[in-house]
Amino acid sequence: MVRVARMYYEFGYIQEVIAEKEGISRSSVSRILDKAYKEGIIQIKVVYPLQPVRDLEESLKAHFNLKKVFVVPMIIDHPDAVRNDLGIAVAGFLKEIITDGEIIGVSWGTTLPYVTHNMGIIPKQRITVVQLNGGVAKNYLSTQSGAIVEGFVQAFNAVPYMLPVPAIVDSVDLAAAIAADSNVKQTLDLARQARIALFGIGRASNESILVKAGYFCQGEYEDLLNKGAVGDICSRYFKIDGSIADTELYNRTVGISLEELAVKDYSIAVANGEEKAEAILGALRGGYVNTLFIDECAARKCLSLL
């Protein structure tokens, strides 16, 4: 298998020539190549330049006075492909802006794992990574919060600070008590000191990861939607005009506030899919984001809603 694979992929022999050299049929060569691929002897990687969609970037940047916008093109209409391209773009940007001694705040969601998968090893010193909001699910579903932090730890040899608490708790008093705990307070203080914050923008829908993670009782989420919630950042919900959707729920949330995110040097949001357009607009109108990474379809939908 190795011999056939090398002749075909490294030296460019056609299958008929390989068959003649090996004394086998052409169909046997094809089967050997297929088996070599399935066993991992052959690995295929598609390398391509990631060219942003400049006109959409400039329109969004100018309208919302953003520091940076990166719009990935829709090369393949598949959410995993789009998320991976976003991950490549964000990882490249982080390599540019992160300096020695940095504190980096990260949230959790479906897109951020693609960032960590594309970072590799980044030779920076004395990096601290801190979780921005609670990430413990209330049911069997994993939020992947720990894996995301671990990805940054591996990339930067960073010191991690976790928030091993629920994102939303049952009462305002309980949220305040948890935030006052010395370990939680230390982590939240570091989150506030972070110059860079990286987070996803969630869409307010029954498919939300917060719903699936068991944070809402029957009917409670419908009430939130009826109040005009379109999306969330770090588990804090807002309307399409950027205002808070539910103040009581906001105060039951454990983690960095939207107001604290808004003053970061780099408040970096990552989102994909045109179905998130209203959530993205709400985040931008609220001023919670100054650096935006989205896909072409989401960008066009956002601009059409202005």
* pLDDT at res. 143: 67
Q: What is the DSSP string of 42-90?
A: S-----------HHHHHHHHHHHT-SEEEEE--SSS-HHHHHHHHHHHH
Task: Give every residue of the chain whose pLDDT is below 70, as ranges.
Answer: 49, 137-143
Q: Where does CATH 3.40.50.1360 sit in the chain?
A: 54-304
Quick one: pLDDT at residue 14? 94
pLDDT at 76: 82
C-alpha dist (Å) from residue 267 to 59, 204, 295 = 19, 21, 18
CATH code, 54-304: 3.40.50.1360
State the pLDDT at residue 224: 93
Question: For the segment 126-178, what is each residue's pLDDT rounded down to a tens digit?
Answer: 999 999 998 876 655 566 778 899 999 999 999 999 998 999 999 999 999 99
**Which among 81, 253, 96, 70 has a CA at the least distance from the CA of 179?**
253
Burial 87-125 (b: 16+ CB within 10 A, else e): bbbbbebbeeebeeebbbbbbbbbbbbbbbebbeebebe
Q: Convert the pLDDT of each residue in 270-286 to its tens digit.
A: 999 999 999 999 999 99
Report how far residue 226's alpha carbon sits from residue 10's, in angstroms, rounded to the nearest whole number: 60
Report the pLDDT value the prediction gives residue 52, as an integer from 0 to 100. Answer: 80
Q: Model confidence over 63-78: pLDDT tens digits?
A: 999 999 999 998 888 8
Give the per-residue pLDDT at 47. 73
Would you call 175 helix, strand, or coil by DSSP? helix
pLDDT computed for residue 142 by the predictor: 60
In angstroms, the CA 237 to CA 25 distance is 63
pLDDT at residue 139, rounded to an integer: 59
Side chain identity, residue 206:
N
Say how many C-beta atoms besides its own lie within 10 A of residue 128's C-beta: 19
Spell out the residues 6+ positions from residue 225 whose beta carbon is closer than 8 angstroms to its own: 204, 205
C-beta separation of 224 from 204 below 8 A: yes
